[in-house]
Chains A and B, each alone.
Chain A
Amino acid sequence: MPDAAGCWGPEPGADAVVKAAWDALAGVMDPEIPVLSIVDLGIVRAVSADAEGHLSVALTPTYSGCPATGVIVLEAETALARARLDARVSVVIAPPWTTDWISDTGREKLAEVGIVPPPHSGKRALTAPDEVIACPRCGSQDTRQISRFGSTACKALHACNSCLEPFDVFKCH
């Protein structure tokens, strides 16, 4: 989970190589939502180093079929190599990713580009009917869902009944 400040990163007192790896990974952007880094998205699950300084990095996919996972692994490996870090990147599926792991910074970045960030799952049941979603452009609460399946697996497509603009909503997952 992100820390109290809503951020992801190394544990306090972590090795310098672990910190350097988190820094390098923070520069890797999600290929489908390039305003979000993979750290903001909450898919960097763990970074650890052994006694010789060899790093292990565990990433988790957002959705099972997300076609970006392969690209993300490749870009993470490239970023770590550029930082001259000796790291092995693996993909883990358990525990499953949730939108609660998107950092507060990530949520702000999503809102800035007009994508409604997901509500925290604790605030409503996952299968509950959709709550009122405000239009990210004009702020109107008079909006409707066009489709639960949007331009990427993680988003739904909505439209505003006031300004008529369609917009993306990051699904609570």
Chain B
Amino acid sequence: MSTDLLKEALFATALRLGDTSLVLGHRLSEWCGHAPELEEDIALTNVALDLVGHARMLLTYAGELEGKGRDEDCLAYRRDVFDYRNHLLVEQPNRDFGHTIVRQFLHDAWAVELYERLCASKDETLAGIAAKAVKEVRYHVRHSGDWLVRLGDGTDVSHAKVADALGRLWPYTGEMFERDEAEQALVAAGIVPDPAELKAAWTARVEAVLEEATLDRPADGWMQKGGRRGEHSEHLGYLLAEMQFLPRAYPDATW
């Protein structure tokens, strides 16, 4: 594969990772002032900040790879739904706290396994971003995993809520391990990890926590896909409308 095509594939990868972090970071920020207890309010928004930080690094890098002068803000605020490349999982609404925790854990378990491997990427910038991010997502996965065990192995009500959320969200997990032809080239070049290996690591991590949480692992049935190609659920538009309100209403506004 030519260098240009590799660069284009790398741009798409950085954009997908950046968008996934940004959208989940925004979703978690919606809990600010609404979490069930103060400590959890602070924790969820701490995680949100980390994710927005990852998004900033990844989108800045995506803009550089693209070479059309788009910076992190331009990519975050001046694209509509069809240009976003995040996983469908992270745009799903918060619903209740248990639902938020299940969504977070399914994502965190993927993120930690991904960034651990990306630290060894042949792409120096991606490896640098991963080395920074992995230290933070280790806290995240421990936090969401601890809560999942507490809720799953908790009361009848908390168990029922997270079991329901798990069934609802499981069909969105297949997309995390999808790879197109361009990404296969990145795998071959040692830039991103092999999706099959990533899926095995994710599955082992998730199954261990689900078992401790006394939750049944849902069967792998029909998987919802499309986010990585810009085909989103109805929820993303509302999220972007809020997140992008200011730059839409006041274009080019600066502090």
Instruction: Across the interface, name the chain B residue whose C-beta is closest to A94.
Output: B128
Mark out the residues of chain B between 13 and 41 whose CB falls within 8 Å of any chain A CB in the assembled complex: 25, 39-40
| CB-contact partner of B136 in A63, A94, A147, A151, under 8 A | A63
Instruction: Across the interface, name the chain A residue whose C-beta is closest to B128.
Output: A94
B135 is an interface residue with CB less than 8 A from chain A:
yes
Q: How near does chain A come to B122, taking the closest CB pair, in angstroms? A: 15
- The interface centre, meaning the residue of B52, B56, B135 with most chain A CB atoms within 10 A of its CB, is B135
A63 to B52, CA, bound (A): 11
Contacts of A127 in B (CB 8 A): 138, 142
Do residues B128 and A64 form an inter-chain contact, with CB atoms below 8 A? no
Number of interface residues of A (CB under 8 A): 22
Do residues B131 and A146 form an inter-chain contact, with CB atoms below 8 A? no
A93 is an interface residue with CB less than 8 A from chain B:
yes
- Interface 1/0 per residue, A82-117 and B, CB below 8 Å: 000000000001111000000000000000000000
- Interface 1/0 per residue, B134-145 and A, CB below 8 Å: 011011001100
Contacts of B53 in A (CB 8 A): 61, 63-66
Q: Which of B43-51, B175-183, B221-229 contacts A (4 or more CB under 8 A)?
A: B43-51
A173 is an interface residue with CB less than 8 A from chain B:
yes
Do residues A153 and B128 form an inter-chain contact, with CB atoms below 8 A? no
Contacts of B136 in A (CB 8 A): 63-64
Do residues B132 and A96 form an inter-chain contact, with CB atoms below 8 A? yes
| CB-contact partner of A157 in B39, B47, B48, B56, under 8 A | B39
Instruction: Across the interface, name the chain A residue whose C-beta is closest to B141.
Output: A127
A151 to B41, CA, bound (A): 11
Do residues B57 and A93 form an inter-chain contact, with CB atoms below 8 A? yes
Do residues B56 and A64 form an inter-chain contact, with CB atoms below 8 A? yes
A150 is an interface residue with CB less than 8 A from chain B:
yes
Q: How near does chain A come to B59, taking the closest CB pair, in angstroms? A: 12
- Interface 1/0 per residue, B104-143 and A, CB below 8 Å: 0000000000000000000010011101110110110011
B99 is an interface residue with CB less than 8 A from chain A:
no
Do residues B131 and A95 form an inter-chain contact, with CB atoms below 8 A? yes
- Interface 1/0 per residue, B155-191 and A, CB below 8 Å: 0000000000000000000000000000000000000
A residues near B (Cβ < 8 Å) are 61, 63-67, 93-96, 126-127, 146-151, 153, 157, 171, 173
| Interface contacts beyond A64-B57, A149-B43, A153-B50: sample of 13 additional A-B pairs, CB < 8 Å, sorted by A | A64-B132, A64-B133, A65-B52, A66-B49, A94-B124, A94-B127, A94-B132, A96-B131, A127-B138, A148-B142, A148-B143, A149-B39, A149-B46
